[in-house]
Chains A and B, each alone.
Chain A
Amino acid sequence: MTAVSGIEKVNGSTRAMYFQLDDSWRSARGKGVSVAVIDSGIDIGHPDLAGKVVDSVEARVDNKKVVFDPSDAGDSAGHGTACAGIISKIAPDSELHSIKVLGAGGLGDGMAFLAGLEWAIKQKYRVINLSLGTTKPQFFAPLHDLLDRAYQAGCIVVAAANNLPQPSFPSVFSSSLISVIKSEEKDPLNFGFHYGEVIELTAPGVNIRTAWPGGDYRSLTGNSFACPHIVGVIALLLEKHPDLTPFHVKSALHSIAMENQNRNGEIVR
């Protein structure tokens, strides 16, 4: 049982509250939770992912606008499959939705993944894995707007921090988003939360063995692979507590991480 600080609305006014999160989520499988993977596509034929990818769409530019068509292109880069493999390992019954924005020729990087995020929010997918980002300042405001829309729609967006020493968007946004950076931890449930840091959550992201196109497996290192670990954990939480808002989820992650860090003997903030 985890005590989670949160808020509740009573007669139109907001007040602080605490709620108890029972441990049932630890044995959950993410059943009934929709998870979008905005990435390079997913190899739906991989044995670890067979039957788990509900649908796949791909970005295409049509008359200077990005549109999404059903896609059977799979994943030519491997990154999306790797992320999906990690999510599926933690939450094997979650419903994966592949939104392919990388690898389509001629698409500007920021433009494509912004469109992918907008698409995911419109579909109201509960959790959105964004192991991508942009450092281009022109995308700061549109991404901020999209993240606020996601928050209002109850979509929980989880973004990977930039691996390079430079702020990237949206991972540096703090209010309406969950941002993750890699640690050398191996246990996906033993994640960390560092309140006040630019990137608050830490999760496994070093030498992670996961699915790779063609039925293969790879060991991967990068913040990209910390992000789907937290997405998987959120899918577990949402199966057992489907009414949690993005705010509650972040509070719950904070409380669970504090328990983890207490157990690990780390200094907790």
Chain B
Amino acid sequence: MPDQHEGELAEKIQRLIETIDIANILTEPLTKSIEEILRVTAEDLGSNEASVLVRDGDNGDLRFLSAVGQVAERLVGVLIPAGKGIAGFVLSSGQPIAVANADADASFYREVDKLTGYSTEMILATPLRHDGEVIGVLEYINRAGDPPYKPFSPDEMDRAARFADAIASLVRAYESAKLFRDMGQKIVGEGSEFDITEVREWLSHYRGGAEHREMMDLAVIVREIAGRGEAERSLCRSVLEALLTYTSDTINQTYLRY
């Protein structure tokens, strides 16, 4: 990191600590939870592979957010253009669908199969819905064992729809956290030439510090109080504001000022 940037960088990061740090703390367990649910529900449906695709931009494109199975690593991050394939249909129609290969030699899911080298024989795809909006698609691919596979049944479609409700809440939470993170990246990156890996390194170092742990403990206490009701929130705010005023002479800067 060049010296002339160091002071400026530290100041910017301090202002964005809560944004970026909270986002990182939030996103990691969320993606792990999504993966875990995918694993458990895929097993329940006797499926080999499961994945979550989320909207990417406003044009109906989809991107693999999470996947489990043998080609999971190759799928995450792959973009499916608007309206393409079964996932594109599910996103735009909001309807689940179960599709199976009718002929043994037909290529099923050409674009994605070409990329992963995996042979898709059947898909159960259902929308991820939150507040009446379709925010993504949940897919289960193939059955465990060898072909010919038993097609997904209407009962399994209903079960997948229930799994989708649980996953949709997690995806929504992930998206909110990601929004914070992206916003932080954008602001930190504005007018600077350093990349975000430097921010991560700095944060990693910072998180190890006693001061940071104390701040997080304080944040947990405030969240606990705030969660108890309107009266408690109001009292908490009054106490904290009074404390802030009382100590203002000794405080040179506050993390709350942005």
Contact A76 B102 (CB under 8 A): no
Complexed CA–CA distance, A223 and B161 (Å): 14
- Across the two chains, which residue of chain B brings its CB closest to A223? B95
Given A105-B60, A106-B59, A219 and B89 contact (CB-CB distance below 8 Å): no
Complexed CA–CA distance, A132 and B127 (Å): 14
Q: Is B37 interfacial (CB-CB < 8 Å)?
A: no
Given A76-B84, A103-B82, A218 and B100 contact (CB-CB distance below 8 Å): yes
Contact B102 A102 (CB under 8 A): no
Q: Is A77 interfacial (CB-CB < 8 Å)?
A: yes
- Across the two chains, which residue of chain A brings its CB closest to B97? A222
Given A135-B132, A207-B151, A221 and B102 contact (CB-CB distance below 8 Å): no
Q: Separation in Å of the B131 CB from the closest CB of chain A?
A: 11
Main secondary structure on B side of the interface with A: mixed
- Which residues from chain A contact B58 at a C-beta distance below 8 Å? 106
Residues of A in contact (CB 8 Å), total 38
Would you list which residues of chain A between 80 and 115 have a CB under 8 Å from chain B? 102-107, 109
- Across the two chains, which residue of chain B brings its CB closest to A160? B95
- Which residues from chain B contact A212 at a C-beta distance below 8 Å? 102, 106
Complexed CA–CA distance, A163 and B92 (Å): 15
- Which residues from chain A contact B60 at a C-beta distance below 8 Å? 103, 105-107
Q: Is A217 interfacial (CB-CB < 8 Å)?
A: yes
Would you list which residues of chain A between 127 and 158 have a CB under 8 Å from chain B? 132-136
Q: Is A220 interfacial (CB-CB < 8 Å)?
A: yes
- Which residues from chain B contact A224 at a C-beta distance below 8 Å? 95, 97
Q: Is A189 interfacial (CB-CB < 8 Å)?
A: no
- Which residues from chain A contact B86 at a C-beta distance below 8 Å? 77-78
Q: Is A17 interfacial (CB-CB < 8 Å)?
A: no
Q: Is B45 interfacial (CB-CB < 8 Å)?
A: no
Contact B89 A77 (CB under 8 A): yes
Q: Is B157 interfacial (CB-CB < 8 Å)?
A: yes
Taking a contact as CB atoms closer than 8 A, the residue among A77, A134, A214, A218 that contacts B84 in the complex is: A77
Q: Is B154 interfacial (CB-CB < 8 Å)?
A: yes
Q: Separation in Å of the A44 CB from the closest CB of chain B?
A: 17
Q: Is A243 interfacial (CB-CB < 8 Å)?
A: no
Q: Is B94 interfacial (CB-CB < 8 Å)?
A: yes
Q: Is B19 interfacial (CB-CB < 8 Å)?
A: no
Q: Is A206 interfacial (CB-CB < 8 Å)?
A: yes
Q: Separation in Å of the B112 CB from the closest CB of chain A?
A: 14
- Across the two chains, which residue of chain B brings its CB closest to A137? B132
Q: Is B88 interfacial (CB-CB < 8 Å)?
A: yes
Q: Is B98 interfacial (CB-CB < 8 Å)?
A: yes
For chain B, give the interface size range: 35 or more
Q: Is B77 interfacial (CB-CB < 8 Å)?
A: no
- Across the two chains, which residue of chain A brings its CB closest to B101? A218
Given A76-B83, A105-B60, A222-B97, A216 and B106 contact (CB-CB distance below 8 Å): yes
Q: Is A182 interfacial (CB-CB < 8 Å)?
A: yes
Q: Separation in Å of the A147 CB from the closest CB of chain B?
A: 19
Contact B94 A105 (CB under 8 A): no
- Which residues from chain B contact A79 at a C-beta distance below 8 Å? 89, 93, 97
Complexed CA–CA distance, A182 and B61 (Å): 29
Q: Is A209 interfacial (CB-CB < 8 Å)?
A: yes
Contact A102 B85 (CB under 8 A): no
Taking a contact as CB atoms closer than 8 A, the residue among B83, B134, B151 that contacts A219 in the complex is: B151
Q: Separation in Å of the A83 CB from the closest CB of chain B?
A: 11
Given A105-B60, A218-B99, A218-B100, A134 and B94 contact (CB-CB distance below 8 Å): yes
Q: Separation in Å of the B85 CB from the closest CB of chain A?
A: 6
Complexed CA–CA distance, A214 and B111 (Å): 13
Given A206-B154, A221-B151, A104 and B103 contact (CB-CB distance below 8 Å): no
- Which residues from chain A contact B85 at a C-beta distance below 8 Å? 76-78
Complexed CA–CA distance, A133 and B88 (Å): 16
Scoring B residues 97 to 139 as 1 if CB is less than 8 Å from chain A, else 0, what string do you get?
Answer: 1111111001100100000000000000011010010100000
Given A135-B132, A220-B99, A221-B151, A164 and B161 contact (CB-CB distance below 8 Å): yes
Complexed CA–CA distance, A132 and B58 (Å): 21
Contact A77 B157 (CB under 8 A): no
Q: Is B96 interfacial (CB-CB < 8 Å)?
A: yes
Q: List 10 A-B contacts (CB under 8 A).
A: A77-B84, A79-B97, A102-B83, A105-B59, A109-B92, A135-B94, A135-B132, A164-B129, A214-B107, A221-B157
The 6 A-B residue pairs with the shortest CB-CB distance in the complex, in nearest-first order: A103-B83, A217-B102, A221-B98, A77-B89, A105-B59, A105-B82
Which chain B residues have a beta carbon within 8 Å of chain A's beta carbons? 58-61, 82-86, 88-89, 92-103, 106-107, 110, 126-127, 129, 132, 134, 151-154, 157-158, 161
Q: A218-B100, A222-B96 are in contact. List 16 more A-B contacts (CB 8 A).
A: A40-B83, A40-B89, A76-B83, A76-B85, A78-B85, A78-B99, A102-B89, A104-B83, A105-B82, A164-B94, A206-B154, A212-B102, A214-B110, A217-B106, A221-B152, A222-B98
